[in-house]
Amino acid sequence: MSSTVNVVRYTGLIGGILYGISHRRTLQEQENHRKAEHAVHHREELIKQARQAWTDKQAASKGSGLITNPDDPNFDLEKVLAKWEAEYK
């Protein structure tokens, strides 16, 4: 084979390898970006669920008229324990 053919062959090989490396980096950056966005979205969903659960819990405790603050003079430990026992059964 002539030296020109070998130069073209190896130039093509090196060009293909460099293209493959560049393309892989691009794909990896896209995947990392997608994963980061997914993690943020998942975190937002968890926060939304936690807020909803907290508001439901607050609404349930306000609706019963039960005082859960131990510093309040009208606090009744037996009522609070009975309510918590009923909730977790």
**pLDDT at position 5:** 94
> What would the two tokens of residue 25 be?
């980096």
- pLDDT at residue 61, rounded to an integer: 64
pLDDT(71) > 80: yes
Judged against a pLDDT cut of 90, whether residue 70 lies above it is answered with no
pLDDT in tens, 15-40: 999 999 999 999 999 999 999 999 99
Mean pLDDT, rounded, for 32-50: 97
Q: Which residues of 44-75 are buried (b: 16+ CB within 10 A; e: fewer)?
A: eeeeeeeeeeeeeeeeeeeeeeeeeeeeeeee
Whether 45 and 53 have beta carbons less than 8 Å apart is answered as: no
Q: Which residue has the higher pLDDT, 11 or 75?
A: 11
pLDDT at site 33: 98
